Amino acid sequence: MPTANKIELFARNNNLREGWLSLGNQLGPNYLDSTTVITCDKCKNQITTKRFKSKLIANLDFCEPCFGKKSLSDFFVLENNQDEDILHEYLRCNGCHAEPIAGPRFKCKTCPDTDICEQCFDARLLNKKQAICASH
């Protein structure tokens, strides 16, 4: 290549290097800084282990030590065992139409082709009238 002496075949926005030809399917504005930091609403520390996300109250998250004896039926248990954010490639949020869906993806129990991002899930909790899919 005339302007590059080296090539990176699996490049991402976070590993671009000057003088390298960078190719990859996770480059561009849809992949800019998708790192999400979630803090516990009780102790205010960053959640690095299991995350307990409320199914009923928007943006309510607890770390494992602070979760205590709350009812598991009212919370999602998210493992947080990934080194980097998850991108659900080839899936579009039915709420905001973001593609790919970054981070947790929520599916309708009755509509198999309905997926929403965490922001739209929380927005749905704040505004009970907002539907996730055509049947709800």
Among candidates 71, 72, 80, which has minimal Cα distance to 40?
80
Averaged confidence pLDDT in the chain: 81
Q: 33 vs 12, which has greater pLDDT? A: 12
**Domains of the chain: total:** 3
Q: 29 vs 92, which has greater pLDDT? A: 92
Question: Are both 14 and 27 inside the same structural domain?
Answer: yes
Average the pLDDT over each of 13-27, 42-56, 60-74 and give the range with the smallest value.
13-27
Contact 78, 50 (CB under 8 A): yes
Cα–Cα distance between 113 and 71 in angstroms, integer? 29
Domain of 48?
34-83
Which residues fall within 8 angstroms of residue 53, CB to CB, at 6 or more apart?
Answer: 60, 61, 75, 76, 78, 104
Confidence of residue 93 (pLDDT cuts 50, 70, 90): very high
Average the pLDDT over each of 23-27, 32-36, 63-67, 95-99 and give the range with the smallest value.
32-36
Q: 44 vs 27, which has greater pLDDT? A: 44
Question: Are both 69 and 97 inside the same structural domain?
Answer: no
Question: Are both 111 and 134 inside the same structural domain?
Answer: yes
Beta bridge partners of 7: 21
Question: Are both 135 and 92 inside the same structural domain?
Answer: yes
| pLDDT exceeds 70 at position 2 | no
Question: Are both 93 and 119 inside the same structural domain?
Answer: yes
Question: Are both 23 and 42 inside the same structural domain?
Answer: no
pLDDT (tens digit per residue) in 97-110: 888 888 889 988 88
Average of per-residue pLDDT across 46-53 = 91
Question: Are both 110 and 76 inside the same structural domain?
Answer: no
Question: Are both 6 and 43 inside the same structural domain?
Answer: no
| pLDDT exceeds 60 at position 36 | yes
